[in-house]
Structure 1
C-alpha cells in the first residue's frame, strides 16, 4: 500500500505506506520530511541515525526531518 497526497501550491506531500515497496523505504532515508512510524501488527527493528532499536507492537514514533530511518524487513 502506498497512498500519496501532493500539493503544488504549498509544495507539500503526505505519504501513507506499509513500507513493502522500495520507493517507500527510500522516503524514510531522505531528510527534510517528518516521519511517523506505527508498529501496527508486530514488533519491528528500526535503525535511526545509525542506532538500532526494537520497536514494540502498537507503539508510535515521531521523527524529525533530520532523522534517517530504516525499517528491517522481517
Structure 2
C-alpha cells in the first residue's frame, strides 16, 4: 500500500490508515489522529524537503512531517 512518501507535490490523496511506529507505544499514532490524520481524510502534498520531509495541507492546516512519519501514513488516490 502506498504511503504519503510516494506522493508528489500538488497531489491530493485520501488516508487509509496509520502503520504502527516500530518499537514505540501508541502515543505518536494518537497524536497524528488528534491532528486530524484519520482514515478518510484528504491530504494535499504541498512541498518536499531536501531530507525527505513533507509539508502537507489538511483542511486549512499546514503540517510538516518527517520522512519516517510520512511513510507511516498509508493512502490511496
Band the TM-score falls in, shorter-chain normalisation = 0.3 to 0.5
Max Rg structure: 1
TM-score normalised to structure 1 length:
0.33
Q: Which has the higher helix share?
A: 2
State the TM-score, normalizing by the size of structure 2: 0.32
